[in-house]
Amino acid sequence: MNRIEGRVKVTGLATYAAEYPVEDVTYAFPVQSQIAKGRVRHVDAQDALAMPGVLAVLSGEDPPPLASGADGELALFQSREVAYRGQIVAAVVADTYENARAAAAVVRVDYDSDDHDVSLRADHPGLYKPDHVNPAYPTDSEKGDIEAGLAEAATVVDVVYETPVLHNNPMEPHAALACWDDEGGLLVYDTAQGTTLSRDTLAQVFGLPKERVRVVSRHVGGGFGSKGTTRPQAVLAAMAARVVGRPVKIVLTRQQMFDVTGYRTPTIQRLRLGADAQGRLTALEHVAYEQTSTLEEFAEQTATPTRIMYATPALRTAHRLVRLDVATPSWMRAPGECPGMYALESAMDELAYALGMDPVELRVVNEPETEPDSGLPFSSRNLVGCLREGARRFGWEHRDPTPGVRRDGEWLIGTGVAASTYPARRRPSKARAVVEDDGDFLVQVAAADIGTGARTALTRIAAEALGVAPERVHVELGDSDLPEAPVAGGSMGTASWGSAIVRACEELKSDGKEGLADTTEEVRGDAAFSRHAFGAQFVEVRVSSVTGEVRVPRLLGVFAAGRIVDPKLARSQFIGGMTMGMGMGLMEETLTDEEFGGFLRRDLAQYHVPACADVPDVEAVWLDERDAELNPMASKGIGEIGIVGTAAAIGNAVYHATGHRVRELPITPDKILMPRF
C-alpha cells in the first residue's frame, strides 16, 4: 500500500513535534558541560539574564524540583556531578530560539574537574558483569565444555572484532513542545517512539499521576531507538514551561543529538570457534566488552544472537561492561544482534576459510534442530531456505573462494555472505475499534509511526480483520490518550499493536458498534517457543588496489520473516536496514575524544551515512513463511533484521576481494591500504 500519510508528508502538512502552533510559545536552549568528569562549582547566569528576550536560566543553582528516582539522564540539574562532556548542565529560556541560543553561549559555568576515562579496553580494570543485558537477557550463558570442544576441534578460529561508537541520526532532530494547563496537567508534543511510555516516564519524573500527562507524537521523522526512551529535551521543555509559566519548545541541534540522545556502545568481541573436519562446530564462545556511563547501566546484548544461531555441543556467551565518563549508550537499530552478528558472521567466514569450506555450506551444516542455548523448539526457522534462495539468485555456485584473484583494472572484486536474525516477539497492547457515523471504521491505538509506515500497515491489518476496504478504515495513533500501547521498538510494534487491533476488530464485528481489546492475557499465554526471523545477505564489493576505496555494486537480502503484511512497506524496511548496515560496514563512526571527553565528528558532514551513489543495486526479497505461533497476523517484525549481517557480509567480501581481513569497523581505505604497504 502507498503510505496513508504520504501526501501530507510531501506537502509539508504533517505536523512534527516542533511544528504545533501554540500561542505564547517560548524557546529553550541547553548549555552543555565542557568537562568530562567533575562537579559544577557555579553557574553564573547574570550576563545571560541581561540578554534580550531572556526569561529564565535553569541550572543546579536553583534546581526546579523533580520527583526522586528519575533516570540519571533525565534528572536534569538535580545533581552537580558531571558524568560526561556534553551533559546538559543549564538551559536558557527566551522569547525566540535565537535569543535563547545566543544567551546560552554566555552562561558561565565553573567546574571542579577530575581526570576522566573514556576509553573502552578489553583489559580495563573496571570491567564487571552486569546483572542482565538489554532488555532482560541473562548476562552469560554456558552449555558444555568450551575448552574440551576447542581441544578436540580439527580447526580453531580465535579472533577479536571491534565496532566503534555509532549514532542513529534520524532526520528529524529530537524536539519537544510542552504546555501546562491551569489544573497542573502537562501536554508534551514529543519525538517519541511510544507515547504511552513517554507519558509514563514524564509522569514519574514530575511526580504526576499518569492521567495528568498527555504525550502526542503524530509524526516522527525516524528514531531507530534513539527516541525509544524519553530524552532530556522532553523533560527540559516541561520543566522550563513550568518555570516560565508559558509553553516551551526545544529542538536539539544535530551536534546535541550526538551528545544526549544515546548511541551504540563500541564493542570489543572475542570469538573462539572450533569445528571438526566436516565443519561441525565443537565449540562456540562469544565474549563482548562494552561500555556504559556512570549515570545508568545500559548493557547491549551483543552476544545473545550467538545463543540461537548454530548447533554446537559447547556454547558460551558473556558480556562485560565498564562504566566510563561517557553518555549512556542506548538502543540503536537491532541492539545486540547488529554488532554481535557482525562479529559472529565474520568469524564464521574465517572458519569457512580455515576449513576450506563454502561459507553457505558451513552454515547449513551447523543448522540446529532446536535453539542451541535454551533447547526450545523454533516457532519457525528458515535460515537455510534464505541461504539457498540467496545463493541461487546471487549466482553463488560459480564462486571461486580464492581470495584476491578477481580483477577489473585496479579494482579487486569479491563476494561475501552472512546470516541475519532478529527476535520475533510481541508485547501486550490495547486497541479500540468503532463504527463512525458515516459507516467507516475508526481504529485507535497509542502506536507510533516513526516513518516505518506503521499507520498504513495497521490500516491494512484492521481492514483485513474487518473484511472491508482499507479506505474505510482510519487509524489514529501517536497520542497517549489513545489505548495504551508499547513503543515502536524491538521489531515488536506491528506484532503487538496488530494483535490488539485484530482482537478489537473481532469484537467490533460481533458487537456491531465497538471493540476494545487488551492482549495482556493473550500474550502471557504465548507458548514457549524460540521466536526469531532469519535472513541471508549476499554482497559484491569492489576494492581499489590503488586507493583502498570499497564500493558495493550489489547487495541482496533474503529474509524469512513470517507473513509480510505489506510488500511495499516491507521492502523499505529491509533495504533501509541493509543500507544502514552498509554504512556501519564502510563509513559510520563517531570518535571519542580521549583528551577532552565527549564525541568528535558530531555532524552529518563528518559522520557519514550512505548516499544514493553508495547503493546502486540493493534488493530485498522474502520467503513465504507461515508461522501460526506468532500472532493473529502470523507476522514477524521487520524493522531491524535488515541491518543485521550486512556489515559482516561486506567484510567477508572485502576479504574475498583482497585476501585481507579487516576486523575493525568501519572498513575505510586506511585499513585496506596500511597492511598492504
Binding site for another protein (CB under 8 A): 32, 34, 98, 101-102, 105, 410, 546-551, 586-587, 591, 593-596, 600-603, 605-606, 608, 610-614, 666, 668-670, 673-674, 676-677
Q: The cell 522532553 sits on which residue? A: 234
Cβ 52 to another protein shortest distance, Å: 9
Alpha helices in 218-358 (DSSP H): 232-244, 254-260, 306-309, 337-355
Residues 73 and 295: beta-carbon distance below 8 Å: yes
Query: Residue 490 or 666: which CB sits closer to another protein?
Result: 666
Cβ 40 to another protein shortest distance, Å: 15
Query: Residue 211 or 594: which CB sits closer to another protein?
Result: 594
Q: What values do phi and psi take at 38, rounded to 5?
A: 145, -150
* Grid cell locating 672: 585496506
* Residue 507 identity: E
Cβ 587 to another protein shortest distance, Å: 5
Find out whether the peptide bond into 632 is cis, omega within 30 degrees of 0.
Answer: no
Rounded to an integer, what distance in angstroms lies between the CA atom of residue 274 and that of residue 311? 12
From residue 67, alpha-carbon distances to 71, 203, 261 in Å are: 10, 9, 22
Residues 484 and 496: beta-carbon distance below 8 Å: no
Cβ 579 to another protein shortest distance, Å: 12
Query: Residue 24 or 603: which CB sits closer to another protein?
Result: 603
Query: What is the helix (H) or strand (E) element at residue 597, kind and residue range?
Result: none
Query: Residue 278 or 606: which CB sits closer to another protein?
Result: 606
Residues 492 and 533: beta-carbon distance below 8 Å: no
Cβ 592 to another protein shortest distance, Å: 10
Query: Residue 44 or 440: which CB sits closer to another protein?
Result: 44
Rounded to an integer, what distance in angstroms lies between the CA atom of residue 58 and that of residue 240? 7
Selected catalytic residue, list 172, 476, 625, 640: 640
Identify the bridge partners of residue 332 per DSSP, sorted by sequence position. Answer: none
In order, the DSSP letters of 8-32 are HHHTT-SPBGGG---TT-EEEEEEE
Rounded to an integer, what distance in angstroms lies between the CA atom of residue 218 and that of residue 229? 16
Q: What values do phi and psi take at 568, rounded to 5?
A: -65, -45
Query: Residue 163 or 429: which CB sits closer to another protein?
Result: 163
* Grid cell locating 597: 571527553
The number of angstroms, rounded, from the C-alpha of 381 to the middle of its chain's C-alpha atoms is 23
Q: Which letter, b or e, does each residue of 252-261 get, where b requires 16 or more Cβ atoms within 10 Å of its Cβ?
A: beeebbbbbb
Check if 345 is active-site.
no
Q: The cell 578460529 sits on which residue? A: 157
Cβ 404 to another protein shortest distance, Å: 17
Cβ 89 to another protein shortest distance, Å: 12
Cβ 539 to another protein shortest distance, Å: 15
How many CB atoms are closer than 10 A to CB 650? 31
**Strand 81-82 vs strand 137-138: parallel, antiparallel, or unpaired?**
unpaired
Cβ 616 to another protein shortest distance, Å: 9
Helix axes 567-586, 337-355, angle to 10 degrees: 70
Q: The cell 556512570 sits on which residue? A: 294
Alpha helices in 467-586 (DSSP H): 493-511, 520-524, 567-586
Give catalytic residue positions.
Answer: 640
